[in-house]
Amino acid sequence: MTSSVEPISLPQRRASNDTEIDREALARLLVEIARNVDPDNHALYEGIPAADHQLETLRQLLVGGEISELSRVTHLLDEPEQLAAAVGNVLPDATARASHEQLGEALAPAVERAAQRSIQKNPHTLTDILYPVFLPAIRKSIGEKIDQTFQSLNESLRHIFTWHGLKWRFEAWRTGTSFSEVVLNHSLVYRVEHVFLISRSSGLLIAHVTAENATSEDPQLISSMLSAIQDFVRDSFNEKEQSGLDTIRFGELRLWSEVGPFATLVAVIRGNPPEELHEVIRDALLRIHDESSQALERFDGDTSQLPGVETQLQTCVELQHTDSKEGFPWLVVTAALLILIAAGGWFFLSWQSGQRWQAYVSRLAAQPGIVVAEQKVRGGEFYIAGLRDPLAADPQSLLSGTEVDLARVHASWQFYQSLEPEFVLKRLTASLAPPESVRLSVVNGRIVAEGEATTAWINRARAAAQQLSAGGPVFDIAGVRDVSPEERWQAYVARLQTQPGIIVAEQNVRDGQFYIAGLRDPLAADPQSLLSGTEVDPARVHASWQFYQSLEPMFVLKRLTASLYPPHTVRLSIVKDRIVAEGEAPDTWIDRARAAARQLSAGGPEFDISKVRDVSPDARAAEHWQYYVSRLEAQPGIIVAQQTARGGHFYISGLRDPLAVDPQALLSGTQVDPARVHSQWQFYQSLDPKFVVKRLTASLSPPKSVRLSIIQGRIVVVGEAPAGWIGRAQAAAEQLSADGVVLDVSQLRELNLAELNHLREAIQTTDIFFSSGRVVPGPEQTPALDRLADQLKEFAENARKAGVTARFMLTGHSDTTGRETANASISAARAETVRALLNKRGVAPELLLVRGAGTFEPAVPENENSRTGNSTNRRVSVTVNLE
């Protein structure tokens, strides 16, 4: 935008030779002009009369426009905001037209001061500006330096003990370079076979140089695939635009990439190159940019403007290094191994001896009753001193098995009495001599005595407990009972009274003799045998027992078992004071058991034989038949009307649905003889919901989008179906309602196939377009990709509800530029890229199929003079298939 203010220019008059000028009229004219030009100074000219109207008319005719413009300019200069706006409107155009050298010299001081002040005020601003530029370069440089360091360390270690290593170390000393650099120069083997220079903007190949005897496929195809891989990775993982392919390794081949402002240099290297080769490749790329930056920026496939590029790339291809021949350093390795073995043997023996001694000391320190006060090793001898309880283990005996030389051990032990509970227990056992009925043990650090003993021994134990040293374990004798003869007798009597089948009627003690009398069942325990272990003298016991039959269930059970001799199929047991018989037996044994149950004494336990089944042949056959009939009655679709057993044969009749289970098949496993079964079944249609569902499925043939289920005795139909099928389902529901079966079709929805076809047409008319030579669509295709992904997901969901499966074929196309093989590869890569982008937007990958059509299916006929046709053919189309 330019300003509407035009410069004021006064008309140039030629000087007149007439000297007769009306000076007064001229003065008035000038005063009048001054009044109009500067109205603020009107008061200065109040005494001067105004010019006449003719002069006023002449003034307007001559300088009226100039006065108006001058007034506007003066007003503009007096208003800073309007002046700034006017200057801002013309400043960009003026800057563009100004000389670059003059403009730079004029702006340099102001820009430098502004930048310096901004950095001093907020240094983070400059850091944020330079961070995205310098950080990747610094990170890459550090990574290469680390790789170079590890590579140098690896090669140096590999050649450090070889003859070549010694020779190279001398060379490093002679030349003043580091040993690692000399090793790398002689040991690394590599060869640069191919160098590609690729345009960053279009992915087109600028130049390609091949080493002698190196083979490869079409360079243009390789360049396109490298660009496609780089673009695909960047778009898939949201990498920054300035990021690029760095290193690819495939077997012996390495691809090293260096990225420049307008081009990328890719070197294909065979072997193990040094990390310094990065600098060589990077320097070549910088020289190419310095010499041909403008041609690289505007590169469109024409290499005539880049004549010296291949010469620069040829220097990279000539880089190689051959392997140096070297032998294995057997002498150096042998000498080093002998020295290491001798030193290792000495150190191992010393370490082993020390470990054995420390193991012995640790074993001693873990022994109760032994306190190690001091231990040391001096001059190959071992010294140890401390305290030892006489009851503790002998330290000399512990040396066996440790492989410590006994002659080199010097021990000094002082005897003491340990307060460990186990040693105090041994001393108490030796001094008190407890009887067999008393047991001494260590419980939680305390010595506990339990059992029975006489009063005298208990008194001795109390005295010993009081004499124990302070700080020693507690001696607890509270668990020892005083067992005088009378107390032992009472314990024996109490034991007899708890025995089943024994009743103590009378017992007393008189003149040191014990008397007892009562009743005893012959099956009860022998009272005489119970005397053992009570320490009661049997010779002083006088017993009188009368035999009787106890009604205890256990004794009754023994007598029944002895009298009835139950078969092995019958089990007698006691359940809640009742004797219960369970199992199978013939009717003769059951009759004997019933008689024995009636003969049991009044007040005795009950004898229950109701759980014993009669296993006679006829009874067993009738039982099996009843099991078969109950099994039939439980089957849906079978109604048993009548069943009888007569003359060893079984008769049954009723109704059976054809969809029900076969009654004959149910006979297996029931042990009923099929030849003795006579059945008569009438067919009918059961109204059981699962049979009705089977008949409806067979007659209506519902589509996959419809599901029939049984909910609380009702048949419910859910899903989408065509209108004709819904009408048939409603007619079937009306027919079933008369029989009392509910067929609910209220949740059926009519399938709208017209909407599905409309969406199919919209999908198939959508194309994703690409730039020439690119396999990743530009950002302008993002809305189309988003819309296509939503349509594909909607179509797949609607098709699934309709009972069909949708598949989408992504077909890649290309124009006729370049070779046919490259076009076929690019078209397939474009289809794969669109598939990945759609998958990233939520489209299931199994629904997407891809193929590359190359140039064989153009959207419009190819025309060499039509760039529009080529752009339309660089696309990916979509075809919808239903299965």
Q: What pLDDT is stored for residue 82 in this prediction?
A: 73
The sign of the dihedral angle between the CA atoms of 400, 406, 410, 414 is: positive
Q: What pLDDT is stored for residue 152 in this prediction?
A: 56
8 Å CB contact between 641 and 654: yes
Q: Is this model's pTM higher than 0.85 or not?
A: no
Model confidence pLDDT, tens digit, residues 378-403: 877 888 898 888 888 888 777 777 77
| Sheet containing 607-614: order of strands | 570-575, 578-585, 607-614
Q: What pLDDT is stored for residue 19 in this prediction?
A: 47
Distance CA 812, CA 825 (A): 9
Q: What pLDDT is stored for residue 189 in this prediction?
A: 64
Give residues with Cβ within 8 angstroms of 738, minimum separation 6.
Answer: none
Question: Which CA distances in Å does 382 have to 345, 358, 408, 410, 707?
Answer: 21, 10, 6, 6, 91
Report the range of poorest mean pLDDT among 105-109, 778-782, 861-865.
861-865
With residue 72 as reference, give the H or E element that holds it: helix 53-78
Distance CA 758, CA 794 (A): 12
Q: How confident is the model at residue 2 (pLDDT cuts 50, 70, 90)?
A: very low
Q: What pLDDT is stored for residue 17 in this prediction?
A: 45
Percent of the chain with pLDDT strictly greater than 70:
77
Model confidence pLDDT, tens digit, residues 676-714: 899 999 988 888 888 888 888 888 878 777 888 888 888
pLDDT mean over 563-570: 87
Distance CA 32, CA 26 (A): 10
pLDDT mean over 220-225: 73
Q: How confident is the model at residue 652 (pLDDT cuts 50, 70, 90)?
A: very high
Residue 195 clears pLDDT 80, i.e. is over it: yes
Q: What pLDDT is stored for residue 876 in this prediction?
A: 94
Report the range of poorest mean pLDDT among 189-198, 209-218, 674-683.
209-218
Q: What pLDDT is stored for residue 573 in this prediction?
A: 92
CA 116, chain centre distance (Å):
51
Q: What pLDDT is stored for residue 161 in this prediction?
A: 57
Tell me which range, 82-96, 710-724, 774-788, is most confidently predicted by mean pLDDT: 774-788
Q: How confident is the model at residue 333 (pLDDT cuts 50, 70, 90)?
A: low
Distance CA 256, CA 194 (A): 11
SS3 507: strand
Tell me which range, 90-94, 234-238, 548-552, is most confidently predicted by mean pLDDT: 548-552
Which residues share a beta bridge with 475?
A: 447
Q: How confident is the model at residue 54 (pLDDT cuts 50, 70, 90)?
A: low
pLDDT mean over 467-495: 78
Distance CA 438, CA 435 (A): 6
Report the range of poorest mean pLDDT among 186-200, 639-653, 766-780, 822-836.
186-200
Question: Which CA distances in Å does 117 have to 113, 120, 129, 568?
Answer: 6, 5, 16, 112
CA 396, chain centre distance (Å):
60
Distance CA 355, CA 358 (A): 5
Query: Which tokens go with 468?
Result: 């124990």
Residue 588 clears pLDDT 70, i.e. is over it: yes
Q: What pLDDT is stored for residue 813 in this prediction?
A: 93
Model confidence pLDDT, tens digit, residues 838-879: 999 999 999 999 999 888 888 887 665 355 546 788 999 999
Q: What pLDDT is stored for residue 3 in this prediction?
A: 41
Residue 737 clears pLDDT 90, i.e. is over it: no
Q: How confident is the model at residue 329 (pLDDT cuts 50, 70, 90)?
A: low
Scanning 215-329, the segments in alpha helix (DSSP H) are 219-236, 277-297, 309-317
Model confidence pLDDT, tens digit, residues 806-848: 889 999 999 888 888 888 899 999 999 999 999 999 999 999 9
| Sheet containing 706-711: order of strands | 706-711, 714-721, 743-750
Q: How confident is the model at residue 13 (pLDDT cuts 50, 70, 90)?
A: very low
Report the range of poorest mean pLDDT among 78-92, 490-504, 647-661, 763-777.
78-92
pLDDT mean over 313-329: 59
Q: What pLDDT is stored for residue 318 in this prediction?
A: 63
Q: How confident is the model at residue 108 (pLDDT cuts 50, 70, 90)?
A: confident
pLDDT mean over 6-16: 40
Model confidence pLDDT, tens digit, residues 346-373: 777 777 777 777 787 888 888 888 888 8
